Amino acid sequence: MTTSAVSVSLERPTAEPVEFLRNALEAAKARGTVTVVTVPAPIAPLETLVDTNDPDGALLWSPPEGPGFAALGALQTFVGSGAARAEQIRGFAEAFFARLEHVTLGERMAPSLRCFGGMSFQPGSAALPPWTAFGDARFVFPRVRYCREGDNAWLTVAAGPDEAANETSRRALVAKIAGVLATLSAGARAPGAARPPARRVVARDETSEAEYRAIVQDIVERIGRGEFEKVVIARRSTLSFEGAVDPTSVLTDLAETSEHCIRFAFRVRDVSFVGATPERLIRKSGVAIDTEALAGSSDAARAAELMRSPKEREEHDLVVREIVRALSPLCVTLNHPASPEVRVLRHLLHLTTPIRGRLARPVHVLELVQRLHPTPAVGGVPGADAVRFITEHEPAPRGWYASPIGWFDAAGDGEFAVALRSGALVGDKAYLYAGGGIVKDSDPASEYAETRLKLATLSAALHVAQ
């Protein structure tokens, strides 16, 4: 299924984007469709748009390759709950996409229209603060979307049929977009922001080392009894600062320190879920798919030891095995190298194995997400038993930590990542999460040290005073 796109190329290539938007909304008022208008925009940092503090929320999606997006508000929000949440989201979105009319200014087309969002780690795991507004599954079709790809940028605005038909609403929307374009122009000219001063932590609430090590030891003993092959256990560190935390400054810092990761932000009401994850869950374009196993970690000085470690290789190989098992029934080809590579990040090294394939038939990316999540990189083996243990024994609910986040379009293509190296920012508090994969040879002290390394990514972006 595709949108009913209408491409418009004006004779005057210098036509004002605001004038074009005004005319497009005027023409759409009698058609009764959802009208989406795309115009050229200035090149500016993605955080410039997120920083406008729109009361209806904001998001950012910035992969290391391909287009990056920032968006404000939501023309449409899709929510799902329970075990059928992915199917619910897909059904709502398909009906919505069928009503779209897309009008563009200029000959260069922007990337496809997309819904952005994600899901909680498991249904019910976002029932407590700070996650209550996020729910089991939440995706939005943005009201205003800014996209950058190479030397090109576009601004896309969406209006419902009632809005297009009402002159007052049309004028308000045109005025808002004029303001957004001015903000982007100012962002393009603004010098680089000064590095924020160190933030002093006034209170810290977290799983203690003794508590975490006890849970790890319990898992190791259960593995020895044959209950599991692997369980990923996480802990939360809640930091309270002297003043409110600005999510935009955190995203700006992550842009400089996490260049090989997918930066993301989802702001719902007063909660901003931000991070820079190194792990792609799935990417689909037509029948081509690619994913990766990312498991097995060490500090930046031990690359050779990481490759030789039986414990780290076992943890990694379990993830490769289960991803291949989940995707093979849908694929005519599915390939990966025999040995992993080392992924070098700012604070950590990881073992990674790219996995690529071709689907036997068209499949919506949400179906692939549902098959894969949670991989053993964030859940365990056997999957259902590991998730049950996590739900019953982890000190704090994960919410959207380690969950699938990303986008999909009308064709069912999309890209999803695993929400790692992340945290929820609310006022003067930061809820940070990190975990590790436990196998039979895991050492509790080493596993706790690994979580400290993983927490360092966001702690550094928060400029936590040591």
Contacts of 192 (CB under 8 A, 6+ apart): none
| Strand bridging mode 114-119 / 137-141 | antiparallel
Distance in angstroms (rounded) separating the CA atoms of residues 448 and 352 = 21
Structure tokens at 262: 């997918």
| Strand bridging mode 404-409 / 414-418 | antiparallel
Structure tokens at 157: 């605005």
Cis bond leading into 130, ω under 30°?
A: yes
Contacts of 108 (CB under 8 A, 6+ apart): 152
Q: Which residues of 377-396 are buried (b: 16+ CB within 10 A; e: fewer)?
A: bbbbbbbebbbebbeeebeb
User: Hey, what amino acid is at 224?
Assistant: G
Cis bond leading into 382, ω under 30°?
A: yes
List the alpha helices (DSSP H) in 99-208: 161-165, 167-189
Distance in angstroms (rounded) separating the CA atoms of residues 303 and 280 = 21
Distance in angstroms (rounded) separating the CA atoms of residues 66 and 45 = 15
Task: Give catalytic residue positions.
Answer: 230, 279
N- to C-terminal Cα distance for the chain? 53
